Structure 1
Amino acid sequence: MSAVVPAEGILVGRARRPGVLHPVIVTVRDGAVIDITAKGFATVRDIAESDDPAGYVASARGEAIGDVEAIVGNSWSSGSDDGKPSLLSPVDLQAIKASGVTFVVSLLERVIEEQARGDAGRADALRKEILDLIGTDLSQLVPGSEAAMKVKHALIARGVWSQYLEVGIGPDAEIFTKGQPMSSVGHGADVGLHPVSSWNNPEPEVALVVSSRGRILGATLGNDVNLRDVEGRSALLLGKAKDNNASASLGPFVRLFDDVFTLETISQADIDLTVTGEDGFELKGRSSMSQISRTPESLVTATIGPHHQYPDGLVLYLGTMFAPIQDRDGAGKGFTHKLDDIVSISTPTLGTLSNRVLLATECPPWTYGTSHLLRDLAKADLL
């Protein structure tokens, strides 16, 4: 597993600082966390909207507020000391968007969810049946291409066409709202499952930070917590499956693009996942961004443009190829979370994002929104 904080790069994030009402903007230099909050640059959104975000963060003056390892360690909600700094989600006013069914493996699992109607016990048999029928050659298809449309028509004729196949190999990407601005949680926070769910999983992903002009500025790690049984019953329940208290985690920092770290770096990244449970269960998996079926640029274009504007920019989860099928509680039962699971998502260039799994009703309620942030920044004369 990678270190929590990457060893190099221009990093920007947010932290809670004792005695300060508002979240502070921070970077990391020589092993220290530096508070660079300044008037006009009091939010990550402000930095993202500047002409040179990486240049600003690299040169901004600030105050050291602690050792990075100590602050990372104090960010776990299960043992945080309110008298010491701790990390928050590294984004603030940006819309939280996500793209789905961007890898063939997750595409097939979504079809299985739909066919199973939320019944995890049927998934194993359906998986074999569907793979026997359509194979795995879909990974070579360019979505929306003439070849993809031929496959679509063949699958319709066989009676296995699905709304997930439509967004997986059809012309239009699936883009949805994962959560509201200010609702995401950061490294060490608890992530939440809706209590109605009994079949669910983490979704380890790269998330891009995009300005209001559609410029891709940097990247972070994300867990797009998913309820497989809820979405499997109906795609119209996507909101209930995806958007719950503490169901979107991001972090630990946003790494801004520069001469060394680029979108091409992200396009070749391998994303590792580890889930460890109090029952001794351990699950490991890997997503390779090189196998994404739609380019990150095309997903951003599908999200923001003349058809849809985001004045405060956005963060976009890019999707995952990881769909856990390893049996946990018996043969054929597949994987689902148990409370107190620890989920860690990592890649060397972005670090490691770790969270504990609880019910959404047991996670700290989301009470600090955009209005609270703006009021506190105004009180501090930072707007």
Structure 2
Amino acid sequence: MGTTSHTAAPTAALALGLFFTPPASIATDAIISTVAPLVAVAIGNLGFMSPALAEPAALTKKQSDALNTYNNSRSNFEQVLGQRRAQINSNQPIPNLPGQALYLARNNMMSAYKDLTDALPSRIGGPNKYGIPPAYFSADNEPLLDEYRRLFDLMQAPPANAQRSDTPFKDVVDLGTAIARARGLDATNAEAAGRISLGLFFAETNGNQNIGNARSNKYKGSLQTGVPEDQNGRKKWAAIKKSIADRDPALNARDDNEEARVGNLDHRFNHWTAVRDGLMNAHADVFPQVPAIVKTLPDPIDQMKLFELIQIIPSPTRSALQSRNLVDYRISDPKVMAYLRNNSIFTFGQADRARTSATFREILDAMWLFNDKFERALAKFEEIKSSQKVEAGRPGSDAR
């Protein structure tokens, strides 16, 4: 909301949504180290009950240092959350890019916790409700991430004039499927493209339509695009619109209605046009490769991750797709590795940050912050498909 600070990349990637990172694969207007130290703000206690970890006896200096660093980073995260909450509750001015300090503080805490569990494996606890690997996150800190998400919901609320849809998830699936069919896919593979498109919506915005972006002034809307990306997507849509109209008159009529409705409004704040233009800009040209991608990556979540990487690191991902071995294609460009880290991939802990290269299989596996989003996208997709089957089975329905 992944997601994305891929400054060299032409499209915005929201990386890691509202649960763990702000929605926005943003090249955050300026790549800032996700582990940069933050100055603690002296504010009142937020009332979070999770205490800092106490120091047991007989720790080595390395272990003691790791424990102190973690405790300090956790305290700082709590303070930054409290400061932003106090500003919002009292209607005080908040800074430009108000989510950036929260994002960095969260990353610092998770990074310090991973260094602590590397030094003291006994500190690895049980599972947490966010599905973050326990070596990176203590379940005791769930209240902090709860507040983190609530604050981003407030800071990224849609503008008052945004044009919402009553069927936002179905719209994404319908558009992705229709675009894939226009690009030559059969019904089965077009359905996969629709499912992948829904995953992108969750990755970029956590499934929230028309949102702003608390970490970037460039990327907005339901697919977190910039103005140039949106305009490029509109041009590409115009080029296939006749094909869309011939194949699916009902969807084309909906499109005409949304175009009339949006008028001179920023197309990124009409859910339909935002999704349509975002898919056309970055993903429609890749849809013809869906059959090969599904064969190589049979896991639907891996497929979604790959298309999210087109948001974050588009050129390397396209090169990997053109190679003979997608999963073993290796990235070693320092700038590309920096884009990944800015989207919470190989971000947490000294061992992860020390990596100088990675294969696409390793990158996909490291995108664990996306797992919860994509699982919810899959569940929503199955719900939509089940509803469509019920509708098609009713007497007099058009089973087109």
For the aligned pair, the TM-score class normalised by the smaller chain equals under 0.3
The structure that is strand-richer by fraction is 1
Report the structure, 1 or 2, having the larger helix content: 2
Structure label with greater radius of gyration:
2
Q: TM-score, normalised by structure 1?
A: 0.23
TM-score by length of 2: 0.22
